[in-house]
Amino acid sequence: MKLPPGKIPVDILKEVVFKNLGATRNEVVIGPKAGVDSAVLDLGEKSVVVAMDPITGAVERIGWLAVNVNANDVATFGVEPAFLFSCLMLPEGADQSMVKAVSSQMGAAAAELGMAIVGGHCESTPKLVNPIVVGCAMGFTEKGNYVTSAGAKAGDKLILTKSAGIEGTAILASDRETELKAKLSNVELQKAKGFYSKISVVPDALAAYRAGGVHAMHDPTEGGVAGGIHEMADAAGLGVEVWREKIAVAPETVKICSYFQIDPLQLIGSGALLIAAETEKAEAITQALQQRNINASVIGEYVSDRTRRRLFSEGGAVEALPRPASDHLWRALIGH
């Protein structure tokens, strides 16, 4: 079977990747699992949260994205990211200016988050067309003091911060700017490109976790908000009901998705955060976020029947919550 662009399908992960994990180590508390983006290692009185992600579909600000996307995966455990390893694979024929551009982006992003870049690798890769940056972020906490994306419980409210398709909007506005000038004004394009500044969910995740009542958190990367909701439900063995009109979608995202004929709910969504929380704590969490000028709203609820994955729209329409076969960013990039 030919693989789709982006993430490998979950069934292949389970049947192939997860069956080849090397030796068993007692320190591994949480290892590879579908829908869980970080591992947890217990070392003495500390738990270490470790996450790894590549940036493959972007060219502009690729270094910035690599730091923030990996930091986000650690922060969704309620843990502050502290260290980063990186692997830079640059196109054949790349020069020093590209090394400097990517490295300076990574350095600035890490400094802003209080992270140290502590090691990695950099190379010019034969036959590579676009740069690829793989990051590995780490954070420390007191033993057991964290949540995962698998902790949602039936009856939990589902909260979304910011809006859908943030990262995809920034990537398409930057990498397809000339093409989009026919659809968006210059002001709109510049604003959309500025969505990169919204990529971090570290403040969102730490504020929500500290407010109390959080059972699970997840940042919707590939597959967007719809994919992220499914991943949380899969990991917890639950169903979910979502209200479309409660999901914020920026006007710039709407216009860009309309041009490329893609779904904003299935567009890579780093910058947003999904939170499963106790019903009685949901309001306190949204208020804590809003006090930090982070928009947040309840968009749904988890239910015990794992087969119920429904999306409600205004007017009473009900449909299955879409599960992306591949992120719609790829559809936009390949189709155009």
For residue range 1-58, what is the model confidence (pLDDT) as tens digits?
788 888 888 899 999 999 999 999 999 999 998 878 899 999 999 999 999 999 987 7
Q: How many other CB atoms are there within 10 angstroms of residue 90's CB atom?
A: 19
The whole-number pLDDT of residue 4 equals: 83
Q: Which fold has domain 10-142?
A: 60s Ribosomal Protein L30; Chain: A; (3.30.1330)
Domain boundaries, the chain: 10-142, 157-335
Helix-helix angle 186-193:251-260, to 10 degrees? 100
pLDDT at 136: 98
Closest CA to 192 of 248, 251, 252: 252
What is residue 66's predicted lDDT score, i.e. its pLDDT? 94
Query: Comparing 288 with 60, which gets the higher pLDDT?
Result: 288
CATH match for 157-335 among 3.40.50.261, 1.10.3720.10, 1.10.8.60, 3.90.650.10:
3.90.650.10
pTM above 0.95, yes or no: no
CA distance 328 to 324: 8
